[in-house]
Amino acid sequence: MNELLTYAGMVLMLIGGIFLFLGGLGIFRMPDTYNRLQAGTKATTLGGMSVILSIGLLEPSWFVKTLVLVIFIALSNPISSHALARANYKRGNRPYLKGGSEYDQYKEVYDPQEKPDKEEEKA
């Protein structure tokens, strides 16, 4: 039983390491901020989750605490990437488009002349 957990932990750890590396590589290679966010968020979320979970499997008495970390990462990473994407668009950085301007349907909402404060609800 214990050996089984160790092997599962090793496999998870290796997978996690590879995905963390791919996240870094994706951030380096992609052409604009939105695509960097895509690669960075997805790869590092799964990578971080599986590395942390693998430690929980290798050391079963830590399992519950590592589970808290895994849940926290799964909840917090998408939120921060969403906030960054919206902030980036509001600053005026338009996405890199291959197929022409009709591929950007978000344009209709955002008018650069308008003050962004107006549509903010009270935080």
Partner 1 sequence: MEKSSSGGKVTRFLFTWFLLFVVWLMFTSTFATQEVITGAAVSWLIAIPTNRFFTNVRLHHFSPLTLFYIVEYLFIFLWALLVANLDVARRVISPTLPINPGIVKFKTSLTSDFAKMILANSITLTPGTLSVDIIDDTFYIHWIDVKSLEPEECRQEIAGKFEKVLLKIF
Partner 2 sequence: MLQIIIYITLGFMLFGIIFSTLRFIKGPTAADRTVALDTLTTISVALLVMISYISHRFIYVDIALVYGVLGFIGVLVIARYLEGAL
- Name, in order, each residue with C-beta under 8 angstroms of 98's C-beta and a sequence gap of 6 or more: none
From partner 2, partner 1, none, which one binds at residue 103 (CB under 5 to 8 Å depending on kind)?
Answer: partner 1
- C-alpha span between 76 and 70 (Å, rounded): 10
| Alpha carbon 43 to its chain's center | 7
Determine if 74 is a binding residue for partner 2 (CB under 8 A). no
Sign of the torsion formed by the C-alpha atoms of 24, 72, 35 and 115: negative
Whole-angstrom Cα distance, residue 66 to residue 64? 5
Q: How far is the CB of 57 from partner 1 (least distance, A)?
A: 16
Tell me the per-residue interface mask from 36 to 75 with partner 1, x by CB under 8 A, - otherwise. Answer: -xxx-xxx-xx-----------------xx-xx-----xx
Do residues 25 and 35 make contact, with C-beta atoms less than 8 angstroms apart?
Answer: no
**Residue 75: Cβ-neighbour burial (10 angstroms; 0-12, 13-18, 19+):** exposed
Residues that bind partner 1 (CB under 8 A): 19, 22, 25-26, 29-32, 34-35, 37-39, 41-43, 45-46, 64-65, 67-68, 74-75, 77-79, 81-82, 85-86, 89, 95-99, 102-106, 109
Residues that bind partner 2 (CB under 8 A): 6, 10, 13-14, 16-18, 20-25, 27-28, 33, 36-37, 40-41, 44-45, 47-48, 51-52, 55, 58-59, 62, 65-66, 68-69, 72-73, 76-77, 79-81, 83-84, 86-88, 90-91, 93, 116-117, 120, 123
